[in-house]
Structure 1
Amino acid sequence: MPVPAPIAEVWRGPIAESLHNGHIVVSDQSGIIEAWGDPEAIILPRSSAKMMQALPLVATGAAREFGLNSEHLALACASHQGAPLHADAVMTWLDHIGLSESDLRCGPEVSRDKELKLQMIRDGEHPNQCHNNCSGKHSGFLTLNKHVGGGSEYVEPDHPVQQMAKEMFESVTGMPSPGYGIDGCSAPNFGTSMAGMARAMAFFATAASRDDSLSRAAAQLTEAMIAHPMLVAGQGRACTLLMQAAKEPVALKTGAEGYFIAILPQRGIGVAVKCVDGATRGAECAIAAVLVRMGVLDADHPDVKRFLNPDIKNRAGLVTGQIRPAPGLMA
């Protein structure tokens, strides 16, 4: 039985101190090109599935009805920092569709933008739901909900919004979902296999070559992510920096518990990465390594090195170690 494979190592001096195991699948629409670990491992893609959850927003015509642009679509796919750039855009979006922050169901979250977080503390302000890193996705849900006339509790698994998301999720993964978990933002997160997730990313990567409604939606969402990397994540984030550093158009999206995906439109290829211990550092190192292996990223680019080979420093500022891709991952 296939088991997780080594994907990243943590070195302290001359000794490999820790090891991250995981699964990686590289796929095109015909099938698996390359894999490490178990392609059939069942996973929850968490926020790496946001572009899939946004498919009904575009495919049903809801985005067109409410005049959404590529920035809205990028936010619908985002796990953003809750910086002013993001929170203000979400508030403007909600106002545009005649709703408000109270209509969101993602819950409030302290801004991940350090400057805004400290300023709000100094000013005695409390974070609201627009600061939640999933508020763009939820604004997309609310827009779709207005289009279909559903009830206010749009995050319930049996709500029409989530049922449409599930149907399209299963369509692009090419398999029934074995179940779901409730995500940090209260929406259901549907499970699939590693191969199914990579196949779905290949669907997005090849979407511009087809003319059905689901493919057109996937193409628009992919283009929006590539066009607006700062909206997809934010300052200092792997998604944003690696998209900006890439030598060709690529859409990248992280997910909680060590998940990461890549969509490569020029190659028609999708990539899915899962670090089984849930470590973000392992997933970031592995996705960077796979993209360097494919020639999409330059290993010497400073914004690539900070995830591919980040130094580990102690409190005195001394470099005590380094994170590295597992042997064979970049060969």
Structure 2
Amino acid sequence: MTQPETLTNAAPAGAPVPFAEIWRGPFLESVHMGHAVVCDTQGEIVMAWGDPHAVVLPRSSSKMLQGLPLIESGAADAAGLTDAQLALACASHQGAAIHTSRVAAWLEHLGKSESDLRCGVQPAADVPEAERLIRAGESACQLHNNCSGKHAGFLTLNAHLGGGSEYVEADHPVQKAALEAFEDLTGADSYGYAIDGCSAPNHATTVHGMARAMAYFAGAKTGSNTRQNAAARLRDAICAYPELVAGEGRACTELMRAMDGRVAIKTGAEAYYVAILPEKGLGVALKVVDGSTRGAECAIAAILVKLGVLDANHPATRKRMNAPIRNWRGIETGILRPAAALA
């Protein structure tokens, strides 16, 4: 795969603003800065922090967009995919047995095998599965890759389209279909792409563009048109199967459960987050510029609390926002809390 040229057509990002703070006693020890946008279904900005026009790579937060052609093309129905499989197609899972077994069965149904995936081998992030592999003297495989569900979706679409085996190439019909959906929902031509951790192209857009796309998912209604049908189906699948989208102990899974499946959220590498709020017709996108997971989790929790869909005192929220920091003796030494702009 040929690497894209260096991005040259995006304006310099404006200044990020403080999102999350680490306090140790009376001292502000660390600050995580970022950009965020809340958008309505008309594409208009409702709230914004930092620069809405900052151009960033959404990484795995774009998986719902990449999954739209799987349904729109008819490939999902032709393959008899379930909602659980659609959730896996949008997942950044941790390689637990509930993830790998489902992807393996999916591939078998397609007449494919693990070797047909192009996501690469990743160690299992799920502790029980990692320990099982050690006890069994086995090695992790591509099924354990957090993107194996997305790639099973790519293979399903590819079988329907009749494309070549290297479905991660940017000029492959699978990736062209994903780009068309991405640009349509973000409302602008992509600024270019880079290669994601799973070897597929990851296209850049503004924070506003991603919030606009998430608001489209929020407003999508079954029975409207082909694209809205696909968006509503993916959104509802994510909400129905939070344990498949990420995994036990993960922020996406725990926060979606805390909101009783009424909101879909999805993380992306390097501290990206998106949220879909169907009842309010809103989409959210945020990026913490230092790539800190704790900063992004605190920020998305704070925004969801501000929007009235997440209980600030729920245990899943308190793990990530206004979370006590304790030392090895259990003494509370500080706190991770939202900065004033988000509090």
For 1:29 and 1:124, locate their aligned partners in 2 and report how far apart those are by CA, in whole Å.
Answer: 51
Query: In the alignment, what sits opposite 2:195?
Result: 182
Q: In structure 2, which of residues 175, 178, 200 is the aligned counterpart of residue 162 of structure 1?
A: 175
Give the number of aligned pairs: 330
Matched with 1:319 is 332
Moved over 4 A (4+): none
1:61 and 1:72, CA in 2 relative to 1: closer, same or farther beyond 3 A? same
Aligned pair 1:17/2:29, yes or no?
yes
Cα displacement (A) at 1:27: 0.3
Q: Residue 271 of structure 1 aligns with which residue?
A: 284
- The 8 Å contact of residues 41 and 218 in structure 2, kept in 1 or not, is answered as no
**Is there any run of 5+ residues in structure 2 with no aligned partner, and where?**
1-12
Report the alpha carbon displacement of residue 210 of structure 1 after superposing the two structures with TM.
Answer: 6.2
Question: 1:112 — aligned with what?
Answer: 125
> After superposition, what is the alpha-carbon deviation per residue over 1:130-155, rounded to whole angstroms, capped at 9, x for unaligned?
01000000000000000000000000
Residues 1:225 and 2:224 aligned together: no
Which residue does the alignment assign to 2:254? 241
Match of 1:54 in 2: 67
Aligned partner of 1:17: which letter?
A: E
Q: Following superposition of structure 1 onto structure 2, how do residues 228-307 of structure 1 map, counting pairs within 5 Å?
A: 228-246=241-259, 249-307=262-320
The percentage of counterpart residues that share the same residue type is 59
Residue by residue, what CA displacement relative to the aligned partner does 1:15-37 show, whole Å, maximum 9, x if unpaired? 11000000010001220000000
**Cα distance change of structure 1 residues 309 and 261 upon mapping to structure 2, 3 Å threshold:** same
**2:119 is the alignment partner of 1:97:** no
2:272 & 2:321 partners in 1: Cα distance?
15
Written as runs of structure 1 = structure 2, the 5 A alignment for 1:139-218 is 139-208=152-221, 211-218=224-231
Distance 1:111 1:248, change over 3 A: closer
Whole-Å separation in 2 of the counterparts to 1:149 and 1:285: 43
Report the counterpart of residue 134 of structure 1 in structure 2.
147
Matched with 2:79 is 66
- Residue 136 of structure 2 corresponds to residue 123 of structure 1: yes
For the Cα contact (< 8 Å) 2:69–2:181, is it kept in 1? yes
Q: Is the 8 A contact 2:240 2:261 kept in 1?
A: no
- C-alpha deviations, 1:172-200, integer Å up to 9, x for none? 00000010010000000000000000000
**Letter of the aligned partner of 1:309 in structure 2?**
N
Q: CA deviation at 1:122?
A: 2.1
Letter in structure 2 aligned against 1:116: E
Which residue is equivalent to 1:4?
16
Cα displacement (A) at 1:209: 6.3
Q: How far off is 1:248 after superposition?
A: 6.3
Structure 1 counterpart of 2:6: none
Q: Say if 1:247 and 1:297, in contact at 8 Å, map to a contact too.
A: no
**Structure 2: how far apart are the matches of 1:136 and 1:241?**
20
Deviates more, 1:96-105 or 1:307-316: 307-316
Q: CA deviation at 1:250?
A: 0.4
Tell me how far 1:311 sits from its aligned partner: 2.3
Deviation at 1:161, TM superposition (A): 0.3
Within 1, Cα distance between the matches of 2:52 and 2:241?
31
* C-alpha separation in 2, matches of 1:32 and 1:298: 24
Matched, 1:44 2:39: no
Q: Which amino acid aligns with 1:11?
A: W
CA distance in 2, matches of 1:110, 1:28: 39
In 1, Cα distance between the equivalents of 2:193 and 2:107?
28
Unmatched tracts of structure 1, length 5 or more: none
Q: CA RMSD in A?
A: 1.1
In the alignment, what sits opposite 2:10? none
Which residue number corresponds to residue 81 of structure 1? 94
TM-score calculated relative to the size of structure 1: 0.98
Deviations 1:88-139 (A, max 9, x none): 0000000011101000000111111101101211221000000100000000
Q: Deviation at 1:328?
A: 2.8
Cα distance in 2, alignment partners of residues 209 and 129 from structure 1? 34
